Amino acid sequence: MNILLVSPKTPNTFWSFKHVLRFVAKKAAFPPLGLLTVAAMLPRDWHLKVVDLNVARLDDRDLRWANWVLLSAMIVHRESVREIAERCAAAGRRIIAGGPLFTTGHESFPEIPHFVLGEAEEIMPQLVADLRAGTVAPVYRAPRFPALGDTPVPRYDLIKLRHYVTMAAQFSRGCPFDCEFCDIIVMNGRVPRTKSPEQFIAELEALRRLGWKDMVFVVDDNFIGNKARTKALLHAMIAWRARTRPAMGFLTEASVNLADDAELRALMVGAGFRKVFVGIETPSSAGLDECRKLQNTGRDLVAAVQTLQGSGLEVMGGFIVGFDSDTGDIFKQQFDFIQRSGVATAMVGLLTALPQTRLYQRLQREGRLLAESSGDNTSAALNFHPRLNREYLENGYRELMRRLYEPGNYYRRIRVFLKNHHPVSERLRLSRADCEAFVKSFWLLGVWYRGRWAYWRFVAGTMLRRPRQFRYAIELAIIGHHFRRVAAGL
C-alpha cells in the first residue's frame, strides 16, 4: 500500500516565522507532527511518503504513486486544503482528511470523501483494516479522548530535519482551564492526558539519534496542565540529559500560574527549556473575567512575566483585543503592558470566534456571528459584530502591531527583557549558524531595511553592557523583523 501524507501550506502568520527562514537557511519553522504521528500508526510494511508543502511542491508523480492521500490540517490551512483536494480529484486519488479543521467543520468540504474526526489513536486500527479491505467509510469519529500510553514515536525519519528551524514533540493533550474563546477543550478536553516519561524520552532520543541539535517545540496545549506528571517528566529529562549530553533545547506553551511554582520553573530550566509561550490575553481585568481566563485574574501580570524571565525563561506572549468589555483605550493599555513587561515576542490578535467554542455559541445565540474564522491570528477582520466600533477596532489593531514592532519600540522592549532575564547558562561563544545569522542580520537589518540606526544602537549597546546575552539579542532582532513584516502587511 502506497500512502502519501500531505501537509498544507501555512500562510504568513505569527507562527509561520516566514521572514526568519532566510536568516537561518531553512524552509519551514516546524514539521507536521500530526502527520508524522499518524504515519507511525500505519503498518510498517506499507510504503509512506510525506510531502510538506511548506518545504516542497506536490508533484504529479507523487499523486500517481499513491493509493491513498492522507491530509491533516488546521483552520488556517483551509485555502491550501481546497487546492490539494482539487489536485487529488484531477489525479483520481481519494483523500482521508483529519485534524482540527475537519474535526470542527468537515461539513464544509463536500469534495473530500473520507474524514477522521478527533484524535486518531483508537480509530486507526479500524481505518487500516478498511484500507486493506477496500471498504473505507465516509466518517471515522473518535469515541472518546484516548489515553496516550500507546501513542507511538512519530516517524521523524520520513522528513529531512535540515529543512526545519525547530522540531516538534508532544507530552500531553488537554487543558484544565475553560477560556471562552479557546477550542482546545473542544478538541482535546479539560482533563490533561499525558504520555509516560519513558515515551516522551524515546521521542527525544529518536531526534537525538537522527542528529537533531537545535530547539524542540513541546506542542502541548498546556505543558503544566498536570503539574505532578510534568515534574516527573522533567526529572526524567534531566537524567536523560546527564546521560546523553544532547545539544537540543526546548520551548513550550504554559499557563501563567507557572510563575507560582519555583520548583517547576527550576526543573524546566534544568531540563533545557529556554522559552515559554503564555496566553496573557489582556491587562484588562474586565476582559479576563469576561473570557473566564481565571488563572490570570487577581495577579500582577507584569510581575508574573518578570518572574518567569528571572528564572531563565524567555516569555512569548499571546494578547487579544476585541472583548465586549474593552474600552476605547485598550490599545494603549496593551502597548504599555507589553513594553513594560519586556515580552519581546508579543503575538497580538483580534478576538475570533472559533467553531464550537463557548464564544462561538454565545455569539450565535446573540445573532452576532458574521462568518467562520479564518484561523489566521494576524487577520485584521473580525468575524462577529463587536461592541466597540468595528472600524475603530480593526484600524486600532493594525496601528498597535505597527507601533509594537517599530524598530525603536521593539529594541527598547528587548532591552527590558535582557535586563530581567537571568539564564542559568549565559554563553558568549557563537556557533557557526549563529555567526551566519548575525552576518545576514548585519546586512538586512543593519543596511537594507528601515530601522538600521536603531539596530546598530541596539547591537552596540548590547555588546557594551550585556555581551554574554548577545546571542539572545540577535535572535530576537531577527524574530522582530518577521513580526515587523507581518505587521506591515495587515
pLDDT value at 474 more than 70: yes
Residue, of 432 and 26, whose pLDDT is higher:
26
pLDDT band for 18, please (50, 70, 90 cuts): confident
Residue, of 484 and 126, whose pLDDT is higher:
126
Boundaries of every domain in the chain: 2-12+31-141, 156-420, 432-488
pLDDT value at 354 more than 60: yes
Q: What pLDDT does 428 receive? A: 45
Q: What pLDDT does 377 receive? A: 67
Q: Is 38 helix (H, G, I), strand (E, B) or coil?
A: helix
- Average pLDDT value over all residues in the chain: 93
Alpha-helical segments (H) within 31-105: 33-40, 60-65, 78-91, 100-103
Q: Which residue has the cell 486600532?
A: 396
Quick one: cell of 434? 549563529
Question: Residue 446 has what DSSP assignment?
Answer: I
Report, as an integer, the average pLDDT of 142-157.
Answer: 96
Q: What pLDDT does 425 receive? A: 63
Give per-residue pLDDT as tens, 89-110: 999 999 999 999 999 999 999 9
Taking the C-alpha atoms of residue 119 and residue 100, their distance in angstroms, rounded to an integer, is 9
CATH superfamily of 156-420: Aldolase class I (3.20.20.70)
- Contacts by 369-376 with C-beta closer than 8 Å and gap 24+? 372/105, 372/108, 373/75, 374/75, 374/76, 374/78, 375/74, 375/75, 375/76, 375/77, 375/78, 375/101, 376/11, 376/13, 376/76
Give per-residue pLDDT as tens, 111-122: 999 999 999 999
In 3-state terms, the chain is what percent helix, strand and coil (to 5)? 50, 15, 40
| The listed CATH number (3.40.50.2300, 3.40.50.300, 3.40.640.10, 3.30.479.10) that belongs to domain 2-12+31-141 | 3.40.50.2300
Residue, of 108 and 12, whose pLDDT is higher:
108
Nearest to 179 by CA among 73, 273, 295: 295
Residue, of 12 and 176, whose pLDDT is higher:
176
Q: Are 288 and 326 in contact (CB under 8 A)?
A: no
Cα-to-chain-centroid distance, residue 3:
27
- Other beta carbons less than 10 A from residue 398's beta carbon: 16
Q: What pLDDT does 472 receive? A: 86
Q: What pLDDT does 451 receive? A: 75
Q: What pLDDT does 490 receive? A: 78
Taking the C-alpha atoms of residue 476 and residue 490, their distance in angstroms, rounded to an integer, is 21
Give per-residue pLDDT as tens, 215-258: 999 999 999 999 999 999 999 999 999 999 999 999 999 999 99
Give per-residue pLDDT as tens, 288-327: 999 999 999 999 999 999 999 999 999 999 999 999 999 9
Sheet containing 68-72: give its strands across: 47-52, 2-7, 68-72, 95-98, 114-117, 139-141
Q: Are 345 and 421 in contact (CB under 8 A)?
A: no
Taking the C-alpha atoms of residue 275 and residue 295, their distance in angstroms, rounded to an integer, is 20
Query: Which letter, b or e, does each residue of 428-438 get, where b requires 16 or more Cβ atoms within 10 Å of its Cβ?
Result: eeeeeebeebb
Give per-residue pLDDT as tens, 35-79: 999 999 999 999 999 999 999 999 999 999 999 999 999 999 999
Is-same-fold flag (2-12+31-141; 156-420)? Answer: no
Taking the C-alpha atoms of residue 273 and residue 215, their distance in angstroms, rounded to an integer, is 9
Report, as an integer, the average pLDDT of 426-443.
Answer: 67
pTM across the whole model = 0.94
